[in-house]
Amino acid sequence: MKVLHLVSRYRWTGCAEPAVNLCRFLAAAGVDSRLCCVPGGSLEREARELGTLLAPATALGRNYTPWGILSAARRLARYVASEGIDLLHAHTSHDHWLAGLSTRLSASPAVPLVRTHHETRRIRTGRVWRRIFNEYTAANVAVSLASREFLTGSGAIRPEKIRTIYGGLDFSRFRVREAAPDVRAAWGVPPEAKLVAHLSHIGPDRRQKVMLEAFSLLAEEIPRMWLIFLGQGNRDTVHHLKRRVASGSLGHRIRFSRDFAEKALPWPNQIAAADLVAVLAVGSEGSSRGVMEAMALAKPVIGSGLGVIPELLEEGKTGWIVDPNEPSQVAGAIRQALTDQAKSLRLGSAASVAVRTRFRCERQAQETLELYREIVRQADRSLPAAGSR
């Protein structure tokens, strides 16, 4: 089976890593799995370093001129026909409608189209998009039950046109490096500190302000507690957050991991350096990979009751679930996690077992392959028999 994955991105952010991992693990399962992305960026570089088969099938840059759109769609249709591609898999809205258009322009029978909806904070529900989702697309993939309910509840996608397949981690790559430098020393955090990590891209909807308020509620009660904002962010949002930190009295106990990027600290080691991880918003890739990463390293996790997170964490068994808009609830969970070390160790250990059992890239690839085979069988049955009219 030949599958072409389309990702209209050039940076290694958002859905890029999940899409590349799926492409790689499908290839490991015997699929001729190829990736087409916007060239010249960190996505292409990382994908190549990971051994992904890159295919310049069409131009995925966002050229919205009529000629640019038609040219990209026709080029994609020609590539699909010449290479004998059996199935297209889109990962963003741009490449989704472009792939849908290419199937309409194809001179040969249209190959089936699959779309994974990584970003579920909004969905287009207009007549054209409903047609693309339900008529041009063989199957839409949601990364969680919450995502599926949102997509169907919006009226954009019919229930029978959507399948839930959870994301996964590549555990062969995601592990602590023993020879890595002392992360806490690099950050200037005392070794005896109780370090809480707020793991998220720094953005206006990621609740860094809620974490700051929760931290301030506990600062006097737990004087050894420190806070690190673990993740990148756009310049304006980071600047605003830093100004807020500087205006208070706790700035000496707060760090931003992005300030130490030049030290090239391995990402798993940065998570492992924390005593507790809080994830108060679902990331743009939809599967909340940050929660899975913290769970994999046996870290006690405080997660928001939003999106996929309650499907990853089980309250009282593998972590804490809180209202991410209530600083007092967040503070209460932090207090319990930092003061009841036995419970934190127990929950962290259970979380590691759960994520390594349920959320592996190998399992995601196998479920996706089963969906592909089902779709291709249906497509074969729908074709007219040889010699028929």
pLDDT of residue 387: 40
Please tell me whether residue 106 adopts helix, strand or coil conformation: coil
- The reply to whether 183-358 shares the fold of 2-168+361-382 is yes
Q: 183-358, what's its fold?
A: Rossmann fold (3.40.50)
Structural domain boundaries of the chain?
A: 2-168+361-382, 183-358
Mean pLDDT of the chain: 91
2-168+361-382 under CATH 3.40.190.10, yes or no: no
Question: What pLDDT was estimated at residue 388?
Answer: 39
Q: Which of 185-199, 204-218, 240-254 has the highest mean pLDDT?
A: 185-199
Token pair in block for residue 142: 């949601």
64 DSSP assignment: -
- pLDDT of amino acid 180: 67
More confident residue, 232 or 80: 80
DSSP 142-155: ESSHHHHHHHHHTT
| Model pLDDT, residue 236 | 85
Residue 110 DSSP one-character state: P
What average pLDDT does the segment 260-285 reach? Answer: 89
User: pLDDT digit string (tens) for 220-258?
Assistant: 999 999 999 998 888 888 899 999 999 889 999 999 999
Given pLDDT bands bounded at 50, 70 and 90, which one contains residue 4?
very high
pLDDT tier at 389, thresholds 50, 70, 90: very low
Supply the pTM of this predicted model. 0.89
Contacting residues for 217 by C-beta, under 8 A, at least 6 apart: 327, 328, 331
Give the whole-angstrom CA distance, residue 74 versus residue 80. 10
